[in-house]
Structure 1
Amino acid sequence: MQIQNVLMRSLVVVGIFASVIWTITDAEKSNSCCKLVSRAEVTDPIIGFSTQEADHPCVKAVIFKTEKGEFCSDWTQKWVLKKICQFLSAQRKKIAEERVIEHLTSPTPTTSITDAALVGRSTQELTQGSTQELTQGSTQELTQGSTQELTQGSTQELTQKMYS
Structure 2
Amino acid sequence: METQRLSMGNLAVMMAIASVIWTTAYAGKNMIRSMLGWTLRLIIFGLLFTLMGHFNYMYVKANTCCEKVSKNEVTDPIIGYRLQKLHLPCVKAVILETPRGKFCISPRAPWVREKLLQFKKAQKDKLIPSAQSNM
In structure 1, how many angstroms separate the alpha carbons of the residues matched to 2:125 and 2:47? 56
- Give the counterpart of 2:52 among 20, 28, 42: 20
**What does 1:10-159 correspond to in 2, within 5 Å?**
10-91=42-123, 98-102=129-133, 105-106=134-135
> 1:61 Cα deviation (Å)?
1.0
> 1:95 Cα deviation (Å)?
6.6
Question: Could you tell me the TM-score, scaled by structure 2's length?
Answer: 0.58
In structure 1, how many angstroms separate the alpha carbons of the residues matched to 2:124 and 2:49? 50
Partner of 2:33: 2
In structure 1, how many angstroms separate the alpha carbons of the residues matched to 2:124 and 2:44? 58
Could you give the per-residue CA deviations for residues 98-155 of structure 1, whole angstroms, max 9, x where no partner exists?
51322xx51xxxxxxxxxxxxxxxxxxxxxxxxxxxxxxxxxxxxxxxxxxxxxxxxx
**Does the residue aligned with 1:43 lie in a helix, a strand or coil?**
coil
Number of aligned residues:
103
Q: Cα distance 1:12–1:44, how it changes in 2: closer, same or farther (>3 A)?
A: same
Question: Could you tell me the TM-score, scaled by structure 1's length?
Answer: 0.50
> 1:90 Cα deviation (Å)?
4.6
**Does the residue aligned with 2:107 lie in a helix, a strand or coil?**
coil
Q: Which amino acid aligns with 1:101?
A: Q
Q: Which amino acid aligns with 2:68?
A: L
- The RMSD of aligned alpha carbons is 2.8
> 1:62 Cα deviation (Å)?
0.9
What residue ranges of structure 1 are gaps of 5+ in the alignment?
A: 107-164
In structure 1, how many angstroms separate the alpha carbons of the residues matched to 2:126 and 2:99? 19
